[in-house]
Every structure is written in C-alpha cells, then in structure tokens.
C-alpha cells in the first residue's frame, strides 16, 4: 500500500494459519475483509479437522465449511480453495495455485484445508465421549505422515529403508535440539517474569530521542517555513519559540515533530485524515479548495496534507481493525500512532489490546517489542455533550493490563513531553487526552496553556509533578482533567487555612509510588481525586497501596473522590452529579481535616 519503511520485502506473502474453530471469531472475518479490501498478498489457511474441542464444524458453518461466509468476497478478488491437507500432491498443487494468484496482485486467498485430529483436544478432553467410532477411525486412517510415506514409496521417490532412516535421523535431530534448548533452562523467579513485561527504560528512551534529533532535527526550521507557506500554521516559527499554546495545538505540533523526526511514524484512525484517500488523490487543485478535517477535535489537522496519505489515513469504523492494523505495522518495524476516537470505543478492540499488543514483549521472551502510541480522547466536563457514549474515564480497565503504559497529561507542556517519551518508550502506550482541556486557556484560573517545551525535553514515565510543595496539612493526588480542578480546590482550602499539596501523577501506569510516599509522610492526610469510578478504579488502587505500605504515617483514613457509579448522565446537571468538582473536593477535604 505504499507505506514507509518495513522490515519485510515488498514481494513478501503473508501466510496466516488458523484452526476452523478460531476462524469463527469476528476478528478473523475482519482480517479477511481488510485483506480483500486492500488486495494484500495474504493466504489464509484454515486447518479444518471438523472439531473445535467438542463443537462440530457443522455447528459452526453452513455445509461445515468455514469459507462459506466469504463467498461474496470472490467478486472483489478473493480466491477460495478447498483441498485435502492429508494428500501431499493435492496440497502442493493447491498451495502453488494460491501463491501464484496472490503474487499476481489479484487479491488474497483463503483455503478450507481438510485435516485430521489424531488425539483429543487436550488432557481434559476425551473425544471418544462425543465422536462416533467410525469418525475416529477416519482420522486414524488418514494420518498424513503415513499417507506421505506411501506416496513417496509408490512413486519410487524413496524406499521403505530410506524413510525409516529419515525418521531415525529426524528423531535424533529433535532429541539433540531439545537437549541443547533445555540444557541452560533457568527456573522462573519474580524478577525474571517482571523483567519481560515492559522494555521501557528512560535512559534508552532518551538515547532513541537524541538519535532522532541528531538525524532529522536539522530540517525542522525549513519544514516549518514550508508548512507556514502552505497555510498549515500562522507563523513559520518553531513551536518552542512561540507563546504559550492550547493543549490541542501543542499536541498537533508535537505530532508534526514526531513525523518529521522519524519516517517510520504513521498515524491512522477514524476521521484523522484531512481527506478521504480518493479526494486526496485528486491533487492540490482540488484539496486546496477544501478546509479538510484532521480529527474530530482537529488535533491531527494538516498532517495528511504535510506527510501524505500513506502516512496519515482514515480507517473503517472498527476499533479491533485499527489496533490489529497497528500490530502489523509494529511488526514491520514502524511506530504506529493509531487513534481510538473516544476511550468509550475501546471495547471492540479490547482483545487486541489486552491479549496481543500488551503481551508481545513477554510472550516472545523479549524478542519482539510492540512500540505504538494509541491516542484517545477521554472524560466528561463537556457540559453534558456526548454524555453516556463519549464521556468515559474508566482507566481502571487499562491499568489492570500488564504491558501497557497509561498516560494522562493535564496541560499543554506535559502533553508534549509525555507524547515524545511514549514514541521512544519501545512499549505500547495509551495516551489519554481530556476533551475538555483541548481548547481551554485555563481552568478556573489555573493554566492549561503552556509554552511548547524545548525539543530535547522528555518526561519520564512514573514521575509526578508536585504543586504547593511546602504545604503539609494534606495532599490531594490527581491526574488529567481533575488536576486543575484540584488546584482550584487547593486555592479555596488555603483561604480557609488548610494548606494542600497537590500531586499530578501524569501517568497512572506506572504510578510514582516514591513521590506518593514522600507526600504521605509529609502530609499525613490523603485525598485522591479521580474521574474514574470506584470499583476497580485508579483511586482505590492508590488508596490500597497507601493503606498497605504507609498506614503508620496516616492521621486519618485515605479519602477517595470518584465518579458516581453510573455512566455520565445527559445534560450539564448530569456532569455535575456524576463527576468530581471543586466544591466536592473542598467539602471532602474539610471532612478529612476534621477527622
């Protein structure tokens, strides 16, 4: 498709092997759809033994054939093949036909390959309980190893003696490899396991970032001049030389920088491009007459104009497909920045996120990293706009997933510093952007706008920012959009004679436990303010840690101000009832101080 970079040859063919049971999943169907839609050189081989544990293939598909649901795709270039996988000649012939077809550019191929199951699915499964004796016998009689051996003998390719000698050699080779593999086996310990969950170290991130600046940073002045001439920006000045800016503008500038510094960065999602590909392909004469889009909140505006439709493009409205596509690009050696338009929409892509993206480094025994930055908007405080389906802040759903970093900036400068770190972290990151902060200059007097930081400035994950450092009556721990609300509450409390220190976590996975420990020891009273809900949320996680490790330093119970156990209700009054607010923080802080 013309994407930049890539570690595999341009003429490579991807072979996807899957059992007929798993091919029922919607994600497999989407994979075939995307391959057909993009006419990619893929071969999907479905090994159909007739049984998914104890579920028969006839209970899964019409005619017991997992390719039937794809018949309509033949109109658009999909080749469907059915053959006996236990017959070596038929298998080679059919596979060569598929290979020639996909290499011709006609589209992908999918095959229903009839195979056998010689034993039960697992130790807890006994296929004699549900498989008729005649069906069991058919599987045994079609043992492909025996059938291939007979074909080789009958066609005078090998003798029985040759085959027996070959089997013996293979058996010895397997034993040698097994012995060598297990010779230095080290039994697992906690350090060994935890060391394979994340690859991130801030030193490595800084080194990667410095290398990008050294290789590509010198072209920024000229490129920003060109971008200004093309109307993308009002000034040719580098962003760090400009006055304080909105968070939306700072993130937009940062994305421009990331794409300038690394040709491997690509950005995609729902509505992120300025134009659909077909409009963009019509050229400057057409698109210069249109404003373009660039994201539902204009955060990605002009990126496609600047870097082209192969690096910035729209996807179908399919979160599982967006994240699955990101996995493919990461394996290709790129750094994808997929966007999930609202954190509410993660649900369809949750399996991709939890079971494939977040586990890659650990299940590959650190052989493969999965670097990507998944941008998403989150949160309420939008005066009821969107409400139930566009106001989630359920971060507990994500901090419970090992292998993910969860990042939540509260102002424009932090958004840039954290986004840069995310790009070079080497791990998958969820970058949460509060919708209500995008275009705010301040929140009740506390700046959201900030100066764009110098190019070499990164913010380490797990390092909080502390406000009112000398305050010691109590500490308010927060993050994201509730941070400026907490700062306003601290101002009101100061007028009442209560001096509150405020901790901005900036990342909630990892959490700055050291910073929290110091604050707890200094202040002795703790209020956690989180837009997340109570059950499984960020607030209870922090409270549990403090109670477990710092109980003796407390002068009162840890208090948590969290969202109502409800989706955000419609209207301005819905926001007020469902979410933490300044007055609620002040009241709960006063109650805590009176304990």
Q: Quick check: 92 and 85 in contact, CB under 8 A?
A: no
469 and 442: one domain?
no
Both 338 and 271 in one domain: the answer is yes
Q: Domain with 222 in it: what CATH number?
A: 3.40.50.970
119 and 212, same domain (yes or no): no
From 142, 177, 192, give the residue that closes a domain.
142
374 and 243 in a single domain? The answer is yes
Same domain, 508 and 576: yes
Let me know if residue 194 belongs to a domain: no
163-188 residues labelled b (16+ CB within 10 A) or e (exposed) = beeeeeeeeeeeeeeeeeeeeeeeee
Same domain, yes or no, for 481 and 411? no
Residue that terminates a domain, selected from 447, 479, 503? 447
For residues 474 and 522, membership in a common domain is answered with yes
Tokens matching residue 429: 């990151």
Residue 172 domain flag = no
One domain for residues 84 and 219: no
DSSP 508-554: EES--HHHHHHHHHHH--EEEEEEEESTT-HHHHHHHHHHHHSGGG-
Whether 581 is covered by a domain: the verdict is: yes
Judge residue 454's burial from the number of C-beta atoms within 10 Å of its C-beta, 0-12 exposed, 13-18 middle, 19 or more buried. Answer: exposed
> Can you give the pLDDT at residue 574?
83
For the chain of 595 residues, list the mean pLDDT of each consecutive stretch of 10: 63 93 92 94 96 92 93 97 96 96 96 94 90 92 93 94 94 95 86 94 97 96 96 96 97 98 96 93 86 93 95 95 94 95 94 95 94 96 80 93 98 98 98 96 92 97 97 97 96 97 98 97 97 94 96 96 91 87 96 94
Whole-Å CA distances, 212 to 205, 206, 218, 526, 554: 11, 10, 10, 41, 46
The predicted structure's pLDDT at residue 2: 44
CA atoms of 252 and 300, how far apart (whole Å): 6
Which range marks the domain in which residue 329 is found?
204-447
pLDDT of the residue at 295: 93
Q: What are phi and psi of 146, to 5 degrees?
A: -65, -40
> Residue 428: inside a domain, yes or no?
yes
Residue 21 and residue 48 in contact, taking contact as beta carbons nearer than 8 Å: no
- Tokens read off for 239: 């962003």
Whether residue 198 is contained in a domain is answered as no
Residues 285 and 414 placed together within one structural domain of the fold: yes
Residue 458 forms part of a structural domain: no
Whole-angstrom Cα distance, residue 458 to residue 209?
9
Active site residue 405: no
Do 476 and 431 lie in one domain? The reply is no
Q: Are residues 44 and 131 in the same domain?
A: yes
User: What is the tally of structural domains in the chain?
Assistant: 3
Residue with tokens 């290789």: 215
Using CA atoms, how far apart are residues 185 and 496, in angstroms rounded to an integer? 63
486 is a domain residue = yes
* Six-digit token string for 343: 């954190």
Quote the pLDDT of residue 3: 54
Domain boundary among 398, 417, 447: 447
Tell me the β-bridge partners of 529: 561
Domain at 545, CATH number: 3.40.50.920
- Catalytic annotation, pick one of 139, 302, 390, 446: 390
Give the DSSP letter of residue 112.
Answer: E
Specify whether the CB–CB gap between 568 and 344 falls below 8 A: no
> Rounded to whole angstroms, how far apart are CA atoms 271 and 315?
8
pTM: 0.93
d(CA 316, CA 270): 7
What are the beta bridge partners of residue 433?
377
| CA 421 and chain centroid, separation | 16
- The reply to whether 222 and 132 lie within a common domain is no
Indicate the DSSP class of residue 311. T
Q: Is residue 221 part of a domain?
A: yes
In a 10 Å sphere around its CB, with 0-12 CB exposed, 13-18 middle and 19+ buried, how is residue 350 labelled? middle
């Amino acid at each position: 498709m013309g994407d930049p970079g890539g570690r595999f040859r341009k003429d490579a063919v991807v072979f996807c092997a899957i059992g007929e049971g798993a091919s029922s999943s919607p994600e497999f169907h989407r994979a075939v759809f995307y391959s057909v839609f993009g006419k990619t050189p893929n071969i999907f081989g479905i090994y159909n033994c007739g049984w998914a544990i104890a579920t028969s293939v006839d209970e899964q598909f019409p005619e017991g054939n997992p390719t039937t649901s794809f018949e309509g795709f033949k109109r658009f270039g999909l080749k469907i093949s059915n053959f006996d996988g236990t017959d070596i000649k038929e298998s080679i012939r059919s596979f060569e036909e598929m290979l020639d077809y996909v290499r011709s550019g006609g589209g992908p191929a999918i095959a229903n390959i009839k195979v056998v199951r010689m034993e039960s699915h697992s130790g807890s499964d006994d296929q004699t309980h549900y498989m008729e004796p005649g069906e069991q016998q058919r599987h045994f009689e079609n043992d492909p190893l025996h059938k291939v051996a007979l074909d080789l003998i009958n066609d005078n390719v090998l003798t029985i003696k040759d085959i027996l000698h070959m089997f013996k050699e293979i058996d010895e080779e397997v034993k040698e490899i097994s012995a060598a593999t297990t010779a230095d086996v080290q039994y697992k310990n906690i350090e060994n396991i935890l060391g394979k969950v994340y690859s991130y170290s801030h030193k490595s991130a800084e080194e990667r970032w410095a290398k990008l600046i050294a290789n590509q940073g010198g072209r920024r002045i000229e490129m920003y001049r060109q971008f200004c001439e093309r109307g993308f920006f009002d000034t040719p000045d580098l962003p760090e030389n400009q006055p304080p800016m909105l968070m939306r503008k700072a993130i937009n500038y940062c994305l421009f920088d990331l794409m300038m510094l690394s040709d491997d960065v690509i950005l995609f999602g729902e509505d992120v491009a300025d134009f659909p590909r077909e409009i963009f392909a019509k050229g400057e004469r057409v698109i210069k007459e249109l404003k373009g889009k660039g994201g539902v909140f204009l955060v990605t505006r002009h990126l496609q104009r600047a870097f082209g439709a192969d690096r910035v493009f729209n996807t179908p409205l399919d979160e599982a497909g967006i994240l699955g596509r990101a996995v493919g690009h990461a394996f290709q050696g790129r750094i994808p920045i997929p966007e999930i338009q609202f954190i509410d929409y993660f649900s369809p892509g949750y399996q991709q996120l939890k079971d494939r993206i977040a586990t890659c480094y650990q299940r590959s025994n650190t052989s493969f990293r999965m670097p990507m930055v998944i941008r998403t908007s989150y949160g309420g405080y939008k005066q009821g706009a969107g409400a139930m389906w566009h106001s989630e802040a359920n971060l507990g759903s994500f901090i419970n997933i090992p292998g993910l970093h969860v990042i939540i900036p509260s102002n424009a400068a932090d958004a840039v510093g954290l986004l840069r770190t995310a790009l070079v972290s080497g791990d998958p990151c969820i970058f949460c952007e509060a919708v209500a902060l995008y275009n705010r200059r301040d929140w009740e007097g506390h700046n959201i706008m900030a100066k764009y930081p110098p190019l070499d400035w990164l913010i380490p994950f797990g390092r909080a920012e502390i406000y009112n450092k000398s305050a010691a009556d109590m500490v308010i721990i927060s993050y994201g959009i509730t941070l400026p609300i907490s700062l306003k509450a601290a101002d009101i409390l100061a007028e009442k004679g209560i001096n509150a220190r405020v901790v901005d976590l900036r990342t909630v996975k990892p959490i700055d436990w050291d910073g929290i420990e110091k604050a707890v020891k200094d202040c002795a009273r703790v209020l956690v303010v989180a837009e997340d809900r109570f059950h499984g949320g960020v607030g209870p996680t922090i409270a549990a840690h403090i109670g477990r490790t710092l109980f003796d330093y407390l002068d009162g119970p840890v208090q948590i101000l969290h969202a109502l156990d409800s989706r955000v209700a419609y209207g301005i009054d819905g926001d007020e009832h469902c979410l933490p607010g300044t007055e609620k923080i002040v009241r709960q802080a006063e109650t805590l101080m009176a304990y």
